[in-house]
Structure 1
Amino acid sequence: MTALYVLPRDVLARCLEFLPFDQALEVKQVSKVVRSAARRALTGRWRSIMFVEEQGLDLIENSTPSEWSEPRRVEVRRALATFRAAWELDAGLVVFEIAQWSDECYRRFLALVEPNIDGLSRVVAACERTYCFKTNSIANTYRGIHVPYRVAWPGDMLLAWSERVGRQLRLLVDDDMDEELVEQGLYIKDSDEGGYWGRKLFGSGLGEWADPELAAYFVFHLVERLPEPTGFEFVDFDDYWDWSANWWDRYKSSDFLSTAQEIIARESQWP
């Protein structure tokens, strides 16, 4: 850490820009010099993320959906551009930030950055960070501090987003559904049949997870929340294989499938 003090402040700020966002926040506590450089880093590379964190909720809460659909005010257009820049920079971090908002606010935000169902793979990929927090952080701590407020379950966020963009996420086509309802859904199983292509998008998003074992558990918990027909009996090992069939990282695919086998074996033992 001593070596940091010999660097010019501009150079130090550029160095800190290479840190993950969380670490860039944490180093502000090191010293006055490092804090100043960290602030410059946060208003540089991480400016759009800071904008979402500091101003995003107020902007969404105090505006109507129509103001964002065809933004005429300059400040709304700029805010929308910054939201999308933040999403492009680190979608996983953005999901964690908006998971602390109300249900309606995070739905609206997600629909702004991913306005149609083609973004399914990106939204699925962005769920990993928040799912990891929800499953591993018993004490609800983040950035080394206690989080006193609720953090939404990312599977619920995914479902809410799919409804918001008009293609409700479902496991498979229900034979009892009328044709109009079928066309309004997006199906993550047997999606090659009848032109339903949700399976490929869903699997592509899962393939972006750094922890494939965590991804397998996410699928299990997500299926429990999907609209009827649902139930884990509809998902077997072949479905997991289909979702991971096109992953370029075959080691990751193997870990995903191994975990799926463990989950299925354990669930099959339940009475």
Structure 2
Amino acid sequence: MGLTQTTTAIYTAFALAMLATSTQAQSAAPCEAEVPCQIGDRSYHVLPPDNWDGTTPLPVLLHFHGWGRQGTLIVKHSRIAGATRPRGVLLLAPNGDGRTWDFWNEGSPDTDFAAAVIEDAAKNYPIDRDNIMVSGYSYGSAMAWRYACENGDGVRALLAVSGTINQNESCETAPNEVRHVHGTRDTVMDFPFGPGGDTNHPVSLWRERLGCSVPTGTESYSTTEKDHFERVIWEGCATGNVVLDVHSRGHFIPKGWFARQLDDLLDTPS
């Protein structure tokens, strides 16, 4: 073999070694943020809060993404991750099978999967079991409702945006508190008006399940110049509280809405 061939062989071997090292490094990367964590053939994303000391138990926001999305979006989302990171909340974002969720009927396999996500994350992060919150947007909101309906015991709050399940369903379990936001002009997951155009209907399932009667309060508030809400509150129900925020716009996550709810629930500075 000549000198040129020898040199080429050496460089080739070196390049292959570097590629193997790079591949090993990528496979050894910790599952965090955009690097998914595996549970069998399913996966999820996890994002710890800013400036966490590594030992303090963390409240959890388990968030179900919308149709066609994945958890990679959620851990970068300014209105979701942007709310959890500065508030000391651990964000868990499961990946839907086929980029969607099985929420239409009882017995969803995604309920068991999402419960497994919490337990898997608990192996690496100290979870505050008194502050597990479940949320979602659009199809993900309906999945969050399904999760609360089937595995709601121990859930501090359901934070749902623009998506529900059938209001006539009977839920075996329920969260301690429900906070739902929906736009009256939503044509993707239509605003579920009740008889006579009743705008309190979107949470009728939870009002019945938690034993709520007449509203105990109302409030108008804004999070931005464009995001205005009419809030109806049912406090002191038989087994929990219900809050409904209604706006006059369409299908989206209102800016500042998650931040407002977390501030209320965790008593953090706004």
Q: Same fold (TM over 0.5)?
A: no
Structure with bigger gyration radius: 2
TM-score, with structure 1 as normaliser: 0.32
Which protein has the bigger helix share?
1
Structure-2-length-normalised TM-score: 0.32
| Larger strand percent | 2
Higher relative contact order (CA 8 A, sep 6+): 2
